[in-house]
Structure 1
Amino acid sequence: MPHVVILYTANLDAHTDMGALCRKLADTMQTVRAEDGSQVFPFGGIRVFAYPAPHSAVADGGAAGQAAGGDGDYGFVYLNLRMGRGRSEPVKKSAGDALLDCAKAHLKPLFEQRHLGLTVQVDESPGQVYDGKHSTLHPLFAKL
Protein backbone atom coordinates (compact mmCIF):
# COMPACT_ATOMS: atom_id res chain seq x y z
CA MET A 1 0.00 0.00 0.00
CA PRO A 2 -0.38 3.05 -0.97
CA HIS A 3 -3.19 2.62 -3.41
CA VAL A 4 -5.16 5.19 -5.37
CA VAL A 5 -8.55 4.06 -6.60
CA ILE A 6 -10.29 6.24 -9.14
CA LEU A 7 -14.04 5.93 -9.57
CA TYR A 8 -15.48 8.00 -12.39
CA THR A 9 -18.55 8.39 -14.55
CA ALA A 10 -18.18 6.34 -17.70
CA ASN A 11 -19.25 9.29 -19.85
CA LEU A 12 -15.72 10.67 -19.40
CA ASP A 13 -14.01 7.78 -21.22
CA ALA A 14 -14.62 9.36 -24.62
CA HIS A 15 -13.08 12.64 -23.48
CA THR A 16 -9.94 11.81 -21.50
CA ASP A 17 -7.31 9.10 -21.19
CA MET A 18 -7.84 7.58 -17.76
CA GLY A 19 -4.84 5.27 -18.24
CA ALA A 20 -2.65 8.34 -18.68
CA LEU A 21 -4.16 9.83 -15.52
CA CYS A 22 -3.25 6.63 -13.64
CA ARG A 23 0.36 6.90 -14.80
CA LYS A 24 0.55 10.60 -13.92
CA LEU A 25 -0.85 9.95 -10.44
CA ALA A 26 1.61 7.10 -9.86
CA ASP A 27 4.48 9.34 -10.97
CA THR A 28 3.20 12.08 -8.68
CA MET A 29 3.14 9.69 -5.73
CA GLN A 30 6.85 9.08 -6.31
CA THR A 31 7.56 12.78 -5.75
CA VAL A 32 5.91 13.06 -2.31
CA ARG A 33 8.54 13.57 0.37
CA ALA A 34 8.56 13.36 4.15
CA GLU A 35 9.90 16.15 6.33
CA ASP A 36 13.38 14.59 6.20
CA GLY A 37 13.31 14.52 2.37
CA SER A 38 12.80 10.77 2.09
CA GLN A 39 10.37 9.30 -0.41
CA VAL A 40 7.03 8.66 1.31
CA PHE A 41 5.66 5.96 -0.97
CA PRO A 42 7.98 3.11 -2.01
CA PHE A 43 8.14 2.47 -5.76
CA GLY A 44 7.08 -1.15 -5.37
CA GLY A 45 4.00 -0.29 -3.33
CA ILE A 46 2.43 2.33 -5.58
CA ARG A 47 -0.80 1.21 -7.25
CA VAL A 48 -3.35 3.26 -9.17
CA PHE A 49 -6.57 1.73 -10.48
CA ALA A 50 -9.41 3.41 -12.39
CA TYR A 51 -12.96 2.09 -12.61
CA PRO A 52 -15.70 3.66 -14.72
CA ALA A 53 -19.18 3.55 -13.23
CA PRO A 54 -21.48 2.16 -15.92
CA HIS A 55 -24.45 3.56 -14.03
CA SER A 56 -24.44 6.90 -12.25
CA ALA A 57 -26.49 9.91 -11.24
CA VAL A 58 -24.61 13.19 -10.81
CA ALA A 59 -26.27 16.32 -9.44
CA ASP A 60 -29.87 16.73 -10.54
CA GLY A 61 -29.30 15.73 -14.15
CA GLY A 62 -32.27 17.80 -15.19
CA ALA A 63 -34.24 21.02 -15.00
CA ALA A 64 -32.49 22.82 -12.14
CA GLY A 65 -29.06 22.30 -13.69
CA GLN A 66 -30.33 23.27 -17.13
CA ALA A 67 -31.81 26.47 -15.72
CA ALA A 68 -28.31 27.27 -14.42
CA GLY A 69 -26.74 26.53 -17.82
CA GLY A 70 -26.00 22.82 -17.48
CA ASP A 71 -26.92 20.11 -19.94
CA GLY A 72 -27.52 17.22 -17.51
CA ASP A 73 -24.53 15.26 -18.84
CA TYR A 74 -22.32 15.82 -15.82
CA GLY A 75 -19.14 13.99 -14.97
CA PHE A 76 -17.46 13.09 -11.73
CA VAL A 77 -14.04 11.78 -10.72
CA TYR A 78 -13.35 10.45 -7.21
CA LEU A 79 -9.80 9.63 -6.14
CA ASN A 80 -9.19 7.77 -2.92
CA LEU A 81 -5.63 7.43 -1.61
CA ARG A 82 -5.41 4.71 0.99
CA MET A 83 -2.18 4.48 2.95
CA GLY A 84 -0.85 2.71 6.00
CA ARG A 85 -0.47 4.45 9.33
CA GLY A 86 2.55 6.38 10.48
CA ARG A 87 2.76 9.42 8.24
CA SER A 88 2.50 12.93 9.64
CA GLU A 89 -0.48 15.19 8.98
CA PRO A 90 1.62 17.54 6.78
CA VAL A 91 2.76 14.56 4.68
CA LYS A 92 -0.82 13.31 4.25
CA LYS A 93 -1.93 16.80 3.22
CA SER A 94 1.02 17.13 0.84
CA ALA A 95 0.12 13.81 -0.79
CA GLY A 96 -3.51 14.85 -1.20
CA ASP A 97 -2.57 18.26 -2.58
CA ALA A 98 -0.14 16.69 -5.06
CA LEU A 99 -2.76 14.22 -6.31
CA LEU A 100 -5.40 16.96 -6.57
CA ASP A 101 -3.04 19.21 -8.55
CA CYS A 102 -2.10 16.34 -10.86
CA ALA A 103 -5.72 15.37 -11.51
CA LYS A 104 -6.77 19.00 -12.05
CA ALA A 105 -3.99 19.47 -14.61
CA HIS A 106 -4.94 16.28 -16.47
CA LEU A 107 -8.65 17.11 -16.42
CA LYS A 108 -8.22 20.81 -17.25
CA PRO A 109 -9.53 20.41 -20.83
CA LEU A 110 -12.65 18.69 -19.48
CA PHE A 111 -13.26 21.39 -16.88
CA GLU A 112 -13.14 23.91 -19.73
CA GLN A 113 -15.68 21.95 -21.83
CA ARG A 114 -18.21 20.49 -19.41
CA HIS A 115 -19.54 20.43 -15.87
CA LEU A 116 -17.37 18.10 -13.86
CA GLY A 117 -16.71 17.35 -10.20
CA LEU A 118 -13.44 16.12 -8.73
CA THR A 119 -12.86 14.86 -5.20
CA VAL A 120 -9.62 13.59 -3.67
CA GLN A 121 -9.89 11.79 -0.35
CA VAL A 122 -6.96 10.51 1.69
CA ASP A 123 -7.65 7.64 4.08
CA GLU A 124 -5.28 6.09 6.55
CA SER A 125 -5.72 2.47 7.50
CA PRO A 126 -6.85 2.79 11.13
CA GLY A 127 -6.16 -0.64 12.53
CA GLN A 128 -5.49 -3.48 10.22
CA VAL A 129 -6.63 -6.87 11.36
CA TYR A 130 -4.67 -8.58 8.61
CA ASP A 131 -2.39 -7.19 5.94
CA GLY A 132 -0.83 -10.10 4.06
CA LYS A 133 1.54 -9.32 1.23
CA HIS A 134 3.69 -11.14 -1.27
CA SER A 135 5.53 -9.23 -3.97
CA THR A 136 8.50 -9.41 -6.26
CA LEU A 137 8.20 -5.65 -6.84
CA HIS A 138 9.74 -4.39 -3.59
CA PRO A 139 12.94 -6.48 -4.01
CA LEU A 140 13.31 -5.14 -7.55
CA PHE A 141 13.27 -1.51 -6.40
CA ALA A 142 15.43 -2.25 -3.36
CA LYS A 143 18.32 -2.60 -5.85
CA LEU A 144 18.12 1.12 -6.74
Structure 2
Amino acid sequence: MPHLVLLYTPNIEPQTDMSALCRTLADGLLQVRDEAGAQVFPTGGTRVLAYPAAHFAVADGQGDYGFVYLNLRMGAGRSKAVQQLAGDTLLARAKAHLAPLFERGLVGLTVQVDESPGQVYDGKHSTLHPHFNRG
Protein backbone atom coordinates (compact mmCIF):
# COMPACT_ATOMS: atom_id res chain seq x y z
CA MET A 1 0.00 0.00 0.00
CA PRO A 2 -0.78 2.87 -0.69
CA HIS A 3 -3.52 2.31 -3.20
CA LEU A 4 -4.98 5.39 -4.84
CA VAL A 5 -8.18 5.01 -6.85
CA LEU A 6 -9.48 7.77 -9.09
CA LEU A 7 -13.08 7.81 -10.23
CA TYR A 8 -13.96 10.49 -12.75
CA THR A 9 -16.65 11.62 -15.15
CA PRO A 10 -15.61 10.55 -18.64
CA ASN A 11 -16.37 13.99 -20.08
CA ILE A 12 -13.04 15.25 -18.75
CA GLU A 13 -10.98 12.53 -20.45
CA PRO A 14 -10.65 14.35 -23.81
CA GLN A 15 -9.45 17.43 -21.93
CA THR A 16 -6.59 15.94 -19.90
CA ASP A 17 -4.08 13.12 -19.88
CA MET A 18 -5.30 10.75 -17.19
CA SER A 19 -2.22 8.51 -17.48
CA ALA A 20 -0.02 11.54 -16.79
CA LEU A 21 -2.21 12.43 -13.81
CA CYS A 22 -1.77 8.91 -12.43
CA ARG A 23 2.01 9.17 -12.81
CA THR A 24 2.24 12.58 -11.15
CA LEU A 25 0.11 11.36 -8.24
CA ALA A 26 2.21 8.20 -7.82
CA ASP A 27 5.39 10.30 -7.90
CA GLY A 28 3.90 12.58 -5.26
CA LEU A 29 3.16 9.63 -2.98
CA LEU A 30 6.72 8.37 -3.38
CA GLN A 31 8.03 11.77 -2.26
CA VAL A 32 6.04 11.83 1.01
CA ARG A 33 8.39 11.65 3.97
CA ASP A 34 7.67 11.07 7.65
CA GLU A 35 8.88 13.18 10.56
CA ALA A 36 12.28 11.44 10.46
CA GLY A 37 12.68 12.06 6.72
CA ALA A 38 12.05 8.44 5.69
CA GLN A 39 10.01 7.53 2.62
CA VAL A 40 6.51 6.71 3.86
CA PHE A 41 5.14 4.58 1.04
CA PRO A 42 7.10 1.66 -0.44
CA THR A 43 7.92 2.10 -4.11
CA GLY A 44 6.86 -1.43 -4.99
CA GLY A 45 3.55 -1.08 -3.17
CA THR A 46 2.42 2.23 -4.64
CA ARG A 47 -0.55 1.83 -7.00
CA VAL A 48 -2.64 4.46 -8.77
CA LEU A 49 -5.65 3.29 -10.77
CA ALA A 50 -8.13 5.51 -12.62
CA TYR A 51 -11.63 4.59 -13.78
CA PRO A 52 -14.14 6.62 -15.78
CA ALA A 53 -17.69 6.33 -14.47
CA ALA A 54 -19.91 4.38 -16.85
CA HIS A 55 -22.91 6.39 -15.64
CA PHE A 56 -22.95 9.66 -13.73
CA ALA A 57 -25.01 12.64 -12.64
CA VAL A 58 -23.29 15.79 -11.40
CA ALA A 59 -25.06 18.74 -9.77
CA ASP A 60 -28.27 19.84 -11.51
CA GLY A 61 -27.48 18.21 -14.86
CA GLN A 62 -27.85 21.53 -16.68
CA GLY A 63 -24.20 21.68 -17.75
CA ASP A 64 -21.29 19.53 -18.82
CA TYR A 65 -19.94 19.33 -15.29
CA GLY A 66 -16.92 17.21 -14.46
CA PHE A 67 -15.79 15.53 -11.30
CA VAL A 68 -12.68 13.70 -10.10
CA TYR A 69 -12.62 11.69 -6.86
CA LEU A 70 -9.36 10.47 -5.38
CA ASN A 71 -9.47 7.88 -2.61
CA LEU A 72 -6.17 7.02 -0.96
CA ARG A 73 -6.14 3.86 1.13
CA MET A 74 -3.15 3.37 3.40
CA GLY A 75 -2.21 0.87 6.04
CA ALA A 76 -2.63 1.73 9.71
CA GLY A 77 0.10 3.21 11.86
CA ARG A 78 1.03 6.44 10.13
CA SER A 79 0.88 9.70 12.05
CA LYS A 80 -1.85 12.29 11.54
CA ALA A 81 0.82 14.62 10.13
CA VAL A 82 1.81 12.04 7.50
CA GLN A 83 -1.84 11.40 6.63
CA GLN A 84 -2.38 15.15 6.21
CA LEU A 85 0.79 15.52 4.13
CA ALA A 86 -0.24 12.67 1.83
CA GLY A 87 -3.66 14.26 1.28
CA ASP A 88 -2.20 17.74 0.77
CA THR A 89 0.34 16.36 -1.71
CA LEU A 90 -2.34 14.62 -3.76
CA LEU A 91 -4.62 17.65 -3.71
CA ALA A 92 -1.85 20.01 -4.82
CA ARG A 93 -0.69 17.73 -7.63
CA ALA A 94 -4.22 17.04 -8.87
CA LYS A 95 -5.10 20.75 -8.80
CA ALA A 96 -1.95 21.60 -10.77
CA HIS A 97 -2.62 18.91 -13.38
CA LEU A 98 -6.29 19.80 -13.72
CA ALA A 99 -5.75 23.60 -13.67
CA PRO A 100 -6.66 24.02 -17.36
CA LEU A 101 -9.99 22.26 -16.74
CA PHE A 102 -10.75 24.49 -13.76
CA GLU A 103 -10.05 27.55 -15.93
CA ARG A 104 -12.35 26.39 -18.76
CA GLY A 105 -15.26 24.74 -17.00
CA LEU A 106 -17.04 23.58 -13.91
CA VAL A 107 -15.16 20.70 -12.36
CA GLY A 108 -15.16 19.29 -8.84
CA LEU A 109 -12.24 17.57 -7.14
CA THR A 110 -12.34 15.58 -3.90
CA VAL A 111 -9.44 13.87 -2.16
CA GLN A 112 -10.23 11.42 0.63
CA VAL A 113 -7.65 9.55 2.69
CA ASP A 114 -8.69 6.35 4.45
CA GLU A 115 -6.74 4.19 6.83
CA SER A 116 -7.43 0.48 7.00
CA PRO A 117 -7.33 -0.34 10.72
CA GLY A 118 -9.99 -3.04 10.65
CA GLN A 119 -8.42 -5.43 8.21
CA VAL A 120 -9.24 -9.05 8.83
CA TYR A 121 -7.22 -10.38 5.92
CA ASP A 122 -4.43 -8.84 3.87
CA GLY A 123 -3.01 -11.45 1.51
CA LYS A 124 -0.24 -10.37 -0.85
CA HIS A 125 2.15 -11.74 -3.40
CA SER A 126 4.43 -9.50 -5.42
CA THR A 127 7.70 -9.53 -7.29
CA LEU A 128 7.72 -5.71 -7.17
CA HIS A 129 8.80 -5.28 -3.54
CA PRO A 130 11.91 -7.48 -3.91
CA HIS A 131 12.84 -5.63 -7.08
CA PHE A 132 12.80 -2.22 -5.38
CA ASN A 133 14.25 -3.43 -2.09
CA ARG A 134 17.47 -4.75 -3.59
CA GLY A 135 20.50 -3.29 -1.80
* CA distance, structure 2, for counterparts of residue 48 and residue 121 of structure 1: 14
The one-letter code of the counterpart of 2:38 is: S
Match of 1:132 among 123, 127, 134: 123
SS of 1:57 mapped into structure 2: coil
Residue 33 of structure 2 is matched in structure 1 by: 33
State the identity as a percent: 70
SS of 1:119 mapped into structure 2: strand
Count of residue pairs brought into register by the alignment: 135
Question: Shift in Å at residue 125 of structure 1?
Answer: 0.2
* CA distance, structure 1, for counterparts of residue 101 and residue 127 of structure 2: 38
Residue 118 of structure 1 is matched in structure 2 by: 109
Question: Shift in Å at residue 143 of structure 1?
Answer: 1.3
Question: Shift in Å at residue 61 of structure 1?
Answer: 1.4
Residue 60 of structure 1 is matched in structure 2 by: 60
Structure 1 position 11 matched with structure 2 position 11: yes
Structure 1 position 22 matched with structure 2 position 22: yes
Structure 1 residues 70-85: aligned runs within 5 Å? 72-85=63-76
* CA distance, structure 2, for counterparts of residue 59 and residue 126 of structure 1: 33
Question: Shift in Å at residue 126 of structure 1?
Answer: 2.0
SS of 1:14 mapped into structure 2: helix
Question: Shift in Å at residue 40 of structure 1?
Answer: 0.3
Q: Which has the larger radius of gyration?
A: 1
Structure 1 position 106 matched with structure 2 position 97: yes
The one-letter code of the counterpart of 1:132 is: G
Q: TM-score, normalised by structure 2?
A: 0.98
SS of 2:15 mapped into structure 1: coil
Question: Shift in Å at residue 54 of structure 1?
Answer: 2.0
